[in-house]
Structure 1
Amino acid sequence: MSAPSASHSQRRERLYLVWDIAIVVLVSANLLLLLVDSLFLLPPLNAGLEALAPSLHQAYDSAIHQRFMTIDLVFVSIFLLDVLAGWAMAIAERRYARWFFYPFVHWYDVLGCIPLSGFRLLRVLRLISLLIRLQRLGAIDIRRWRLYAFFERYYRVLMEELSDRVATRLLSSLQEEVQRSDDFTKRLTEQVIQPRKAALVDEIARRLETTVDKSYAENHQEVHRYVATLVTRTLEENQELTRLRRLPMGEHVAHAMERSLSDVASRVVHEAIDGLSSPRFKSLIGDLAGSGIDAWLYVDQRTDRVTEQVLIETLEMLKDEIAVQRWRDELDLR
C-alpha cells in the first residue's frame, strides 16, 4: 500500500471513530432523556418534584416535557442519517453480499429510529453495538470499567445458575428414563460394550503385559531371591533329599542340586516374563480377557438392577456436584 493511500485510510478510520463517539454520546443523551421523562410521568415522582422544586418542575415541563416529541425527532433524524450513511458506506465498501443486507443486519438501528416507546428501547442495543465497535477499534477498554465488572460478575452468576438448573433437570430426566427402561442394561451391553469388545480385550492384554514387564524390571532381584528361598525351603522339606544329605558327599550333592534348581526356576520365571510379548501368550491373555468380559457382559435380572442403581447413584452424585454454587466462592474472594 502506498503512503498516500495509507494516509487516506488512516484519516477515514479517524473520521469513523469520531463519528462513532459522537453517536455514542447522542444515543446516551437520548436514553438519559427517555429515562428522565419516563420518571417525570410517574405521578408520585412528578408530585414530589413539584413540591420540592416547583421552579425546576415548571422549567422541565415547559422546556423539555411538552416538547419531548420534537426533541426526540431531532435525535431520530440524526440516527436516521447515521443509518443511511452507514448503509451507503457498506454499499461502497461491499461489506455484504447484497446491497440490501445492511438494514437486516442492523435491524435494531432501523427499528430504533421509529419514534414509538416500544422501539425506542432498541436504542440500548444500538449503544451496546457502538461500544463493542469502539472496543474492537481499541478506542476504549470496557473491561476496565467498574460498570462492566459489575454486570459481568452477575452475568456469570446468572449463567451458572441457569446452566446448573438445566443440567440438573437433564440428569433427573436421565434418571427417570433409566428407571422406566426395562432393558437398559441389555441395550447398553449390546450397543455400546459388545461392539468394542475386541478393543477392550486388546487394551487389557496390553496393560497386563506392560504392568508385568515394568514390575519385573524393577523387582527382578527380589523375584530371584524369593524363588531361591522357595526352592531351598521346598528341598529342605523333601525327605529323599534329607536322606541324601546323610550319605558321604551327600551334602555337596544336595547343595549342587539346590543351586541348579534355583537357577532353573529363576530362568523359568525370566523366560516366562520374556514370553509375555510372544503371540502365543498374547492369544492366551486375549482368550482369558475375552472370557472375563463375556462373564461380565452376562445380564440377568439381578445384574440389571445393580447396573441401574449404579447409574442412578452416579447421576445423583453429578447432580450434587452441579448444585455446588462456586460463584459464591468467587464473590467472597473478590
Structure 2
Amino acid sequence: MPARERYPHLPKTVEYAHIGWDFFILAAVIINLSLLLLDSLFLIGPINDTIASLTPGFHAFYDTVIHSRFITIDLFFVGIFIADVLLGWTVAIAERRYHRWFFYPFVNWYDVLGCIPLSGFRLLRVLRVVSLLNRLHRLRLIDVTSWDSYRFFAKYYDILLEELSDRIALRLLGNVQEQIVASDSLTERVIDRVILPRKAQLIHEIAQRLETTVGQAYQQNRIAIMAAIDDLVNRTLRESPEIQKLHRLPMGHTASNAMQASLSGVAQRLVDELAQGIHSTEFRQLVERTAETGFNSWLTVDETSAHVTEQVLYDILEMLKEQVRHQGWKDRYE
C-alpha cells in the first residue's frame, strides 16, 4: 500500500463528517462519565438518603431505571467506544492515513484504552478533544495558535524539549570525548576505515581543485603576469654585459630592442602554453602522482600526529558542547 502524507487532503464533507462523529463520541464520553460519577455517588449511603429525601421521584426513577440496569447501560457505551475504534481504524486504512495499516491503535492509544470499562480509562477519551481541535484548525474553522493557552503550553513544551535534547546531546558528546581520550588507535582507525577507502577520490578531488584554482588565478591575473614577465626580461637584458656591449655598436639599440621584444613574446607564449597545459591529461596525472606522494606522507602516523589529531577532534566536540549549552529559548522568549 503506497504511503500518503500524514494528513491527506480530504473533501470538506468528509472532514465535517469526522468532526460530527468526534462530537458524538465526546458527548457519549461526557454522558458515560456523568453516569459513572452519579452511580458512584448513589452507592454512598448518606448521599443516597439525601437524594431520596430531597427528590424521591428522581431517586425512585434512577434506582429502578438506571441503577438496576447500570451494567447493561455501561456495556452499551463500551460497545459504542469499541465500534468507534473499529470504524476509525477502517476509515484510517481506507484514507491511507498512516504509513502502515496497523499504526492506528498505537497512534490513537487513548481511544483504545478508553474502551476498558473503568472510569480512569474512560477519562482518556477526553483526549479526543485534541484531535478534534487539530481537525478544526486544519479546516481553518478555528486558529488555536492565536489562543493564549496554546501559546503558553507551546512555549514551555518547546523549552522542555530543547532542554531535554540539549542534555542528551551533551551526554553523547561527552561520551565521545571519553572514547577519544581512552582510545590508543583512533587515528589509525580513522585512516584505515575512513580515509584510505576514499584515497583515490580525495586525490582526484585535490588535483581537480588545484587545476581549477590555478586556472582561475591565471585568468584573473594574466595582465599582471605578462607585465611582470616583460619587466623581468627588460631588467635582465639591461643588466647583461653582452647587451651593454651591443649598445656601443651601430644599430645596437635597435637590435637590443628587437631582442627584448622577441624574448618577452617567447616568455609570455611559454607561460600561456603552460597555463593551457594545466587542463591537459598529462598535467592532471602529474598532479595526482605528486598529491599521492604527499598524501602517503601525510598518512604516516606517529605519536605526535596521533595526539594532535585526537586533540583537534576533542576540541571540536568541546566547541559543539559550548554551542549546545547555549540556551536558545532565552533568545526567543526573553
* CA shift in 2, pair 1:136/1:247, >3 Å: same
Is this contact kept in 1: 2:33–2:119, CA < 8 A?
no
Report how far residue 16 of structure 1 moved.
4.6
Mark the CA change 1:79 to 1:148 in structure 2 (over 3 Å): closer, same or farther. farther
Counterpart-to-counterpart distance in 2, 1:101 and 1:298: 53
Paired with 2:288 and 2:89, the residues of 1 have a C-alpha distance of 69
Q: Which segment is superposed worse, 115-124 or 198-207?
A: 115-124
Check the 8 A contact 2:187/2:310 in 1, yes or no.
yes
- Which residue number in structure 2 is paired with residue 109 of structure 1? 111
Q: Structure 2 counterpart of 1:312, which letter?
A: Y
Shift of 1:179: 0.7
Higher mean alpha-carbon deviation, 290-299 vs 120-129, is at: 120-129
Distance 1:127-1:277 versus aligned 2 partners, 3 A rule: same
What letter is aligned with 2:197? Answer: P
Task: Kindly state the Cα deviation for residue 151 of structure 1 after the two structures are TM-superposed.
Answer: 1.3
Paired residue type of 1:268: L
Contact 1:178 1:308 in 2 (8 A): yes
Quote the Cα distance in structure 2 between the aligned partners of 1:140 and 1:79.
30
Q: CA deviation at 1:155?
A: 1.1
Structure 2 residue runs without a partner (length 5+): 1-10, 38-49, 56-61
Residues 95-134 of structure 1 aligned to structure 2 (within 5 Å): 95=93, 106-114=108-116, 116=118, 118-134=120-136
Give the letter aligned to residue 281 of structure 1: F
SS of equivalent residue, structure 1 residue 248? coil
Distance 2:213 2:182 in 1: 42
**Which SS does the other structure have where 2:278 is aligned?**
helix
Please state how far the C-alpha of 1:18 moved relative to its aligned partner.
2.8
Counterpart position of 2:176: 174
CA spacing shift, 1:89–1:170, aligned 2, 3 Å: closer
Q: Deviations over 1:261-291 (max 9, x none)?
A: 1111101100000111111111111111112
Quote the Cα distance in structure 2 between the aligned partners of 1:246 and 1:329: 81
List runs of 5+ in structure 1 lacking aligned partners: 1-8, 36-57
2:109 & 2:221 partners in 1: Cα distance? 74
Classify the secondary structure of the residue corresponding to 2:308. Answer: helix
Q: Is the 8 A contact 1:26 1:75 kept in 2?
A: no
- Structure-2 residue corresponding to 1:148: 150
- Post-superposition offset of 1:90: 5.1
Q: What does 1:1-334 correspond to in 2, within 5 Å? A: 14=16, 16-24=18-26, 27=29, 79-87=77-85, 89=87, 95=93, 106-114=108-116, 116=118, 118-136=120-138, 139-332=141-334
Q: 1:187 to 1:236 in 2, by over 3 A?
A: same
Alignment check: 8 A CA contact 1:31 1:123 kept: no
- Cα offset for 1:17? 2.7
Q: 2: CA distance between counterparts of 1:162 and 1:153?
A: 14
Measured against aligned partners, the alpha-carbon deviations of 1:140-173 in whole angstroms (never above 9, x if no partner) come to 4433332222212211111111111111111111
Change in Cα spacing, 1:73 to 1:156, as seen in structure 2 (3 Å) is: farther
Aligned length: 294
Cα distance in structure 2, aligned partners of 1:242 and 1:77: 120
C-alpha separation between the residues in 2 aligned to 1:318 and 1:257? 64
Task: Please report the TM-score for the alignment, with normalisation by the length of structure 2.
Answer: 0.74
Q: Cα 1:164–1:104, aligned 2, differ >3 Å: closer, same or farther?
A: closer
Q: Pick which of 197-206 and 240-249 moved more.
A: 240-249
Q: CA deviation at 1:11?
A: 7.3
TM-score (normalised: structure 1): 0.74
Code of the residue aligned with 2:164 in structure 1: it is L
